[in-house]
Amino acid sequence: MDDFDWAVILRSAGFLGHGLALSALLVAVASLGGLGLGTGLALVRLVAPRGVGAIVAGYVAVLRSVPLILVLFWFYFLLPIATGRPVSALGSALTAFVLFEAAFYCEIVRAGIAGVPQGQRLAAMATGLRGWQALRLVILPQAARAMVPVLLNQVILVFQDTSLVYVVSLRDFLTTANIVATRDGRPLEMYGTVAVTYLVLCLGGTLLIRLRSA
Amino acid sequence: MNYRWDWSVLWREPYGGWLLSGLGWTLAVTLGSFVVALAVGLPMGIAGRLPSRATRAVASVYVGLFRSVPPLVQLFLWYFVIPDLLPDAAGMWVKRDMPYPELTTASVAIGLFAAARVAEQVRAGLLAVEQRLLPVALASGLRPLQAFRLILLPLGLRRVIGPLTGEALVTMKLSSLSLAIGVLELTAQSRHIENETFQGFEAFTAATILYLVIGLGLTAVMGVIARRAR
Amino acid sequence: MGGLGRVIWVAGVVVAGGVVAAQAQTVDAITKKLRETGSITMGYRETIPPTSFLDESGKPAGYSVDMCHSILEAIRVQMKLPALKITNVPVTLQTREALVANGTVDIECGGTVNTFARSHQVDFTPVTYVASNQFLALKATGIKDLKDLDGKIIAIAGSGSSVKDLDDLIAREKLNVKLLNVDDHAAALIAIESRRADAYFSDNSAFYGLVKQSRHPEALAIVGPEIGYAPQGFMIPKNNPEFLWMVDHQMAKMFESGEAEKIYMKWFGPYGGSVGPKLRAAWETASFPE
């Protein structure tokens, strides 16, 4: 530990900052997009006919059973072919993340809705609300309140997942640190910085969520 | 847009061989990591519910630390940083002479991350049992440590086998991270085939199906273990 | 429907979708794009000086980049386009072929060896560089010849074209070696310098850059016999006969006029390189009469 080079961390702070900004973008889009699409999928499973529901269930099952790295490669390769147009690495990665995380958010939302006591739905219908209204005004708000800690926790998991864009050479936080580590021969300083940053952000986030729901 | 279909790449040599080899490495990393995860995670989970402030603190710190750093970052630390922090001879052994250095490093790194998850599952299982049975156990005259050892632990661990199946699947998915340190596992091989032949659709479909198969296999094996334990 | 049934459903839908999507094909998409928008996408490598790399200001530079700029400018003049917008896209060893094959990149200006497996999926320009495989090793390992490799660890990039040559070499010379798989040239350098591997087997055009990148260039040496014939060219997506014709034509002009040699000497001269007999022969045979 005699020649720990603090200077390399300071020198590359700007570069690392850009990487962190990209990671932030990835988390934001993946979480919001994933939540939106996931909620939609959950609602589809709730109200749609059995065939459609089965397709959604199959989609969710497959995406939860394969590694995220494979999904990243799939979309990196598939998107330009499917759209017939060139797609940037960032576009492929964002698409992959939204579609991947949606599968997880779908299950969280489904569990949240199922967690609302059956009596609530019956009571809502007894007051004259129809199915869709009951869902929107009574069930979902209660489900949402219960789901918040789990949803926030998923955001932290998404943040950790974004480090995987290393495999498609997108310059997120980890990849920029890797570039500096490789170029300047300082793996300890760089990966140490990355580890500590994630530790502070994720552990801090987890503790905040726990405090909030305590 | 040009795409030529050619499903025969999947069984043509050498590509078929690559897929099988990748499958083998995925299974090896999954197994290695899961063994480490159980070996470290079970004790940590139990420590998390032992009637002792000190062990609970240790367990808390372990879980907090190892769950908050992304597994890929942990893998890089184990592969690029730690061997050079060891004394020279040990470092060289870890880097070159250790049998299957990449496999071992990946198993340790992924295993310790998965261990934190296993620890949480074990702790949650023990907590659930504790809430139901601890008052009864204490009322019947057992001291806390006896209650833990004789009642909570056996029943708690039996409950945990179900969730552990989930953890086995998570470990299988995490095994793909080892491609970052050069393990030619299934995902890496499927991309390798895609690079060489451009038959990406076929290659990635094969990998997807194989992962689903492994997943079903793991679930079946864990199911057998669960039934035996009952 | 059981879990497995659902999975088969989804797989079926996805494959059907893929089959439908794969039907569309357009010929001469690049020249069409040039005529309509005056823009073209150029792929480049970031880490193989002096062939293709990022200079201090973060812009692509190098032998291949200069060659491509020259070719593209000549094409612009030929097509009478008022301006040419070049979009630079970084590619890596692993992504370059896929990005060209699916049309994301119109011309890949790095250094890719023309193999029959690759030319089944993409088209290649005439030869820009002739490389062969060699070993890069730390002088401290004492490796000078093939026989010194006994019991050593060799790093090899799985997605390069050197893998087959290495396998053949090992079989032919009955070498007792262990192999370490690395992602790219930079990872190989790390492996050698951290002593995880003893030598790196790759086409020697990459070695110039690697030695320059190293913190202790004097500790590295390029050793062993030159193995194999690795002619490099630029990759272009298939189904672009007009664009390929224009590139072939422009390059022939550059070979004949000596411009190609000038660019070559600008980048490889400082390393003591010069246009070897195989490369010169390749240039001469590509220079068809008008």
CB nearest to A58's CB, from C9, C24, C41: C9
Q: Please count the CA atoms within 13 angstroms of the CA of B20 that sit on its side-chain side.
A: 9
Predicted pLDDT of residue A46: 85
- Closest C-alpha to C41, from A85, A112, B63, A51: A85
The CATH number linked to A128 is 1.10.3720.10
The answer to whether C103 contacts B95, with C-beta atoms less than 8 Å apart, is: no
CB nearest to A57's CB, from C6, C13, C105: C6
Residue C50, pLDDT > 50, answer: yes
Which tens digit of pLDDT belongs to each residue from C170-228? 999 898 999 998 888 888 998 998 889 999 999 888 888 788 778 888 889 888 888 88
Chain C: closest CA distance from residue A89 (Å): 10
C-alpha–C-alpha distance, residues C174 and C162, integer Å: 18
If you average pLDDT over residues A1-8, what whole number do you get?
A: 76
Chain B: closest CA distance from residue A180 (Å): 13
Predicted pLDDT of residue C10: 56
C-alpha–C-alpha distance, residues A125 and A113, integer Å: 16
Residue C3, pLDDT > 60, answer: no
Residue C24, pLDDT > 50, answer: no
Contact yes or no for A67/A38 (Cβ under 8 A): no
Q: Does A185 touch chain C (CB under 8 A)?
A: yes
Cα nearest neighbour of A82 on chain B: B1
Which tens digit of pLDDT belongs to each residue from B108-157? 999 999 999 999 999 988 888 888 888 888 888 888 888 888 888 888 88
Residue C2, pLDDT > 50, answer: no
If you average pLDDT over residues A168-177, what whole number do you get?
A: 91
The answer to whether C158 contacts B184, with C-beta atoms less than 8 Å apart, is: yes
List chains touching B (3+ CB pairs under 8 A): A, C
pTM: 0.84
Q: Does C195 touch chain B (CB under 8 A)?
A: yes
Architecture of domain C132-229: 3-Layer(aba) Sandwich (3.40)
Cα nearest neighbour of A166 on chain B: B180
Domain boundaries, chain B: 27-183
The answer to whether C117 contacts B196, with C-beta atoms less than 8 Å apart, is: yes
Enumerate the residues of chain C whose CB falls inside 8 A of the CB of residue B194.
Answer: 98
Q: Is residue A197 part of a domain?
A: yes
Interface residue of A81, A83, A92, A166 to substitute, partner C, most C CBs within 10 Å: A81
The answer to whether A80 contacts C213, with C-beta atoms less than 8 Å apart, is: no
Q: How crowded is residue C161: how many other Cβ atoms within 10 Å of its Cβ? A: 22
B27-183 CATH, one of 3.90.1150.10, 1.20.1250.20, 3.40.630.30, 1.10.3720.10: 1.10.3720.10
Predicted pLDDT of residue B130: 83
Rounded mean pLDDT of chain A?
90
Chain B: closest CA distance from residue A94 (Å): 19
- Give the residue ranges of DSSP H helices in A48-172: 50-65, 68-83, 89-115, 118-126, 131-134, 140-161
Domain boundaries, chain C: 29-130+231-286, 132-229
The answer to whether B96 contacts C153, with C-beta atoms less than 8 Å apart, is: yes
Chain A: closest CA distance from residue B136 (Å): 27
Predicted pLDDT of residue C65: 95
Predicted pLDDT of residue A130: 80
Predicted pLDDT of residue A60: 95
Domain C29-130+231-286 has CATH 2.20.25.10: no
Element (H, E) at B128: helix B101-139
pLDDT greater at residue C199 or residue B194 = C199
Q: Does C239 touch chain B (CB under 8 A)?
A: yes
Predicted pLDDT of residue B4: 74
Predicted pLDDT of residue B99: 86
Predicted pLDDT of residue C1: 40
The answer to whether B211 contacts A70, with C-beta atoms less than 8 Å apart, is: yes
Q: Does A188 touch chain C (CB under 8 A)?
A: no
Contact yes or no for B77/B6 (Cβ under 8 A): no
Which two tokens mark A190?
A: 């760089």
Q: Does B179 touch chain A (CB under 8 A)?
A: yes
Q: Is residue A1 part of a domain?
A: no
CB nearest to B187's CB, from A73, A160, A199: A73
Interface residue of A18, A59, A165, A188 to substitute, partner C, most C CBs within 10 Å: A59
Residue C160, pLDDT > 80, answer: no
- Closest C-alpha to B192, from C2, A60, C94, C181: C94
The answer to whether A77 contacts C9, with C-beta atoms less than 8 Å apart, is: no
Q: What pLDDT band is residue B67 in, cutting at 50, 70 and 90?
A: very high
Residue C8, pLDDT > 80, answer: no
Residue A18, pLDDT > 50, answer: yes
Enumerate the residues of chain A whose CB falls inside 8 A of the CB of residue B65.
Answer: 199, 203
Q: Spell out the SS3 assignment of chain C.
A: CCHHHHHHHHHHHHHHHHHHHCCCCCCCHHHHHHHHHCEEEEEEECEECCCEEECCCCCEECHHHHHHHHHHHHHHHHCCCCCCEEEEEEECCCCHHHHHHCCCCCEEEEEEECCHHHHCCEEECCCCEEEEEEEEEEHHHCCCCHHHHCCCEEEEECCCCCHHHHHHHHHHHCCCCEEEEECCHHHHHHHHHCCCCCEEEEECHHHHHHHHHCCCHHHEEEEEEEEEEEEEEEEEECCCHHHHHHHHHHHHHHHHHCHHHHHHHHHHHHHCCCCCHHHHHHHHHHCCCC
Q: What pLDDT band is residue B188 in, cutting at 50, 70 and 90?
A: very high
Residue A103, pLDDT > 60, answer: yes
Predicted pLDDT of residue C11: 55
**Residue A15's domain spans which residues?**
6-213
The answer to whether A191 contacts B81, with C-beta atoms less than 8 Å apart, is: yes
Q: What pLDDT band is residue B2 in, cutting at 50, 70 and 90?
A: low
Share of residues in chain B with pLDDT > 90 (%): 57
CB nearest to C41's CB, from A54, A86, A168: A86
pLDDT greater at residue A109 or residue B155 = A109
C-alpha–C-alpha distance, residues B109 and A176, integer Å: 21
Which two tokens mark A108?
A: 């969280």
Predicted pLDDT of residue B155: 84
CB contact residues (below 8 A), chain B span 21-80, against chain A = 64-65, 67-74, 76-77, 80
The answer to whether B95 contacts C195, with C-beta atoms less than 8 Å apart, is: yes
Q: What pLDDT band is residue C108 in, cutting at 50, 70 and 90?
A: very high
Predicted pLDDT of residue C5: 53
The answer to whether B96 contacts C15, with C-beta atoms less than 8 Å apart, is: no
Which two tokens mark B146?
A: 């006896």
If you average pLDDT over residues C21-36, what whole number do you get?
A: 75
Rounded mean pLDDT of chain C?
85
The answer to whether B1 contacts C238, with C-beta atoms less than 8 Å apart, is: no
Predicted pLDDT of residue C132: 86
Q: Could you check whether the bond before residue C50 is cis, i.e. omega within 30 degrees of 0?
A: yes
Enumerate the residues of chain B whose CB falls inside 8 A of the CB of residue A69.
Answer: 176-177, 179, 187
List chains touching A (3+ CB pairs under 8 A): B, C
Contact yes or no for C65/C44 (Cβ under 8 A): yes
pLDDT greater at residue C16 or residue A34 = A34
